Amino acid sequence: MSGASLHFIDYLIIVLSLVLTFWVGVKFSKKNTNTEQYFAAGGSIPAWAVGMSIFATLISSVTFLAYPGEGYKSNWILLVQGFMVPVVLLFSIRFIVPLYRNVIGLSAYEYFEKRFGYLARVYGSLGFIFAHFSKMGSVLFLLALALSSMTGVDALTVIWIIGIAIIFITLFGGMEAVIWLDVIQGFLLILGGILAIAVILFKTDGGLGAIVNYAVDHDKIGFGPYDFDFVNLTFWVMVINGIFYAIQKYGADQTIVQRYLTAKTDKDAIKASVLGIAITVPVWTVFMFIGTALFSFYALNPQLHLPEGIASDAVFPYFITTQLPPGLIGLILSALIAAAISSLDADLNCLAAVGVDDYYKRLKPGASGLQHLRMGKILVVAAGLAAILVASVYVYYGEDEGILSTVFMLYAIFSGGIAGMLLLGLFVNRANRKGLNVGIVACILFTGFALLTSTKIGTGEAKHLILDMGDFNYTQHKYMLGVYSHIVLFCVGWIASYFFPKEEVPNNLTYYGYLEKKRKGLI
């Protein structure tokens, strides 16, 4: 693959899509006169647009490239995590959305402070910050590898160009620009996926039937192994991990909670959340199927040879540049870039919102609204540059595992029991701040132990565990860290609370307050 495979018209389409993106950012810049408008769009966005924005935020170049890579290399087991999101939403979204819209000003972690004190707020926000910096680095890195292989431009150059563009858009446009860009980019992403599948089917004798039959015969469509085993990657590991992922993502992740605040009413915010995931899960499936279809496509078309030793994450980009006509290549690459922008601009805006609301306002309580807005913009630039540096480190050191697996693992590690903290606050009236603090310490110690006793350093046969405790080493799958950390914090925090005086908990901070309002017909 090289830059020669791209026609002038492809570059023109990509440039025009970027120009449109910049124009939208500039168009909304004049409206950003305060932090409410800059971070929450003044609570004026229609439900369907918020839903598309949630979809676009959850979709990124990880979906566009890593899901096809995983579908090509393995089966659909990593999709199971996403399938758990609708299940969790079914039981939680009706009270989670009003809770945040009525309790917090901007930061999701304000809830934790009101329920458990400032340490809980800091712990929750730091978990969000670390998780999203690692995710942003992965997204930029994967995008850079793909575009570099297709255009011949150095990966670091791609990272800096796209990174600076995202900083500019987020800096000037604010949340309203982010949401409307997400709408445009979301439709572009869906179109890109549909066109890719259409070309694969059109170029394969026997079409869909032949592709699916070959994939089934080679165990490419399935969610196994189904053993009840937490040491290896199994269906049950992904089910349990997915449940806690969904609780944290929709209940304690700033990128989603901030979307709740942009809707006009509670009902609109609930509709938006349901719409967002109703689009996202099928799109995740479409891009996983693209990888599966590519596995069948190259096997059923033996005259088409993949480069020797090609990484699974690079198969889809190779297909795009070698099998698609000019114009269509540019459209799909525009969709790929749009997928990255729609995820990263949301991350930057939300990281800045957390920085202002959780830290700056406390460090400088007398600051004016204009100072808050100025600091928010400074943090957008700082967070963007930091994400660029993380992606650059990925390029320098390389990446041995699939990016999708790496993202899932990092999210599991940095989740740090936050879903457990949310469940404790919502459902356990007896839980108090001192008990919660004990739970946080236990969670940190457990996570540190698990990482140190399961992570190997060194090269080749000289690799060794950082800390070898023999039979006491953590031997289960690292995705389960995103389960056990929550359980440890929840259980230890609950039990420890009984060793400290009971505290009065405002009804509006718990699930029981929601039930009481429902009984009285207030909701």
Can the peptide bond before residue 86 be classed as cis, meaning omega within 30 degrees of 0? no
- 181 contact partners, CB below 8 Å, separation of at least 6: 21, 24, 25, 169, 173, 341, 342, 345
516/394 same-domain check: no
pLDDT of residue 478: 83
60/185 same-domain check: yes
Give the pLDDT confidence of 431-448 residue by residue, as tens digits. Answer: 999 999 999 999 989 988
Percent of the chain with pLDDT over 70: 93
Residue 399 clears pLDDT 60, i.e. is over it: no
- The torsion angles phi and psi of 481, rounded to 5 degrees, stand at -60, -35
The answer to whether the CB of 9 falls within 8 A of the CB of 327 is yes
173/120 same-domain check: yes
Residue 76 clears pLDDT 60, i.e. is over it: yes
Closest to 160 in 3D by CA, of 391, 366, 346, 6: 391
What is the C-alpha to C-alpha distance for residues 334 and 17, in angstroms, rounded to an integer?
6
357/490 same-domain check: no
Q: How confident is the model at residue 120 (pLDDT cuts 50, 70, 90)?
A: very high
445/367 same-domain check: no
- The burial of 217, by beta-carbon neighbours within 10 Å (0-12 exposed, 13-18 middle, 19 or more buried), is given as exposed
395/430 same-domain check: no
425/515 same-domain check: yes
Give the pLDDT confidence of 196-253 residue by residue, as tens digits. Answer: 999 999 999 999 999 999 999 999 999 989 999 999 999 999 999 999 989 988 888 8
Radius of gyration of the chain (CA): 23
CA dist 212 → 298, 323, 426 (Å): 13, 20, 45
Domain count, the chain: 2
Q: What is the CATH number of the domain that holds 307?
A: 1.20.1730.10
Write down which residue in 416, 443, 462 finishes a domain. Answer: 416
pLDDT of residue 32: 67
Closest to 192 in 3D by CA, of 402, 337, 6, 11: 337
- 460 contact partners, CB below 8 Å, separation of at least 6: none
What is the C-alpha to C-alpha distance for residues 45 and 28, in angstroms, rounded to an integer?
13
Among 20-29, 251-260, 380-389, the range scoring the smallest mean pLDDT is: 20-29
- 425 contact partners, CB below 8 Å, separation of at least 6: 111, 112, 115, 116, 431, 509, 510
In 10 A of CB 382, how many CB atoms? Answer: 15
Give the pLDDT confidence of 134-191 residue by residue, as tens digits. Answer: 778 878 888 888 888 887 888 899 899 889 988 988 888 777 788 888 888 788 888 8
Q: How confident is the model at residue 522 (pLDDT cuts 50, 70, 90)?
A: low
What is the C-alpha to C-alpha distance for residues 381 and 386, in angstroms, rounded to an integer?
9
428/385 same-domain check: no
Mean pLDDT over residues 307-316, rounded?
86
Mean pLDDT over residues 6-33, rounded?
80
What is the C-alpha to C-alpha distance for residues 438 and 424, in angstroms, rounded to an integer?
13
What is the C-alpha to C-alpha distance for residues 343 and 490, in angstroms, rounded to an integer?
30
412/469 same-domain check: no
374/515 same-domain check: no
pLDDT of residue 421: 94
State whether residue 458 is helix, strand or coil.
coil
pLDDT of residue 191: 87
In terms of phi and psi (left: phi > 0; alpha: psi -120 to 50; beta: otherwise), the region of 219 is: left
Range of the domain at 350: 3-416
CA dist 324 → 18, 29, 124, 199 (Å): 21, 37, 45, 7
The answer to whether the CB of 422 falls within 8 A of the CB of 247 is yes
Write down which residue in 393, 416, 439 finishes a domain. Answer: 416
Write down which residue in 361, 393, 416 finishes a domain. Answer: 416
The whole-chain average pLDDT of the chain stands at: 86
469/495 same-domain check: yes
pTM of the entire structure?
0.85
pLDDT of residue 3: 42
Tell how many helices (H) and how many strands (E) occur in the chain. 22, 2
482 against 116, higher pLDDT: 116
Residue 31 clears pLDDT 80, i.e. is over it: no
The answer to whether the CB of 105 falls within 8 A of the CB of 261 is no
266/247 same-domain check: yes
Mean pLDDT over residues 62-90, rounded?
89
Mean pLDDT over residues 271-297, rounded?
93
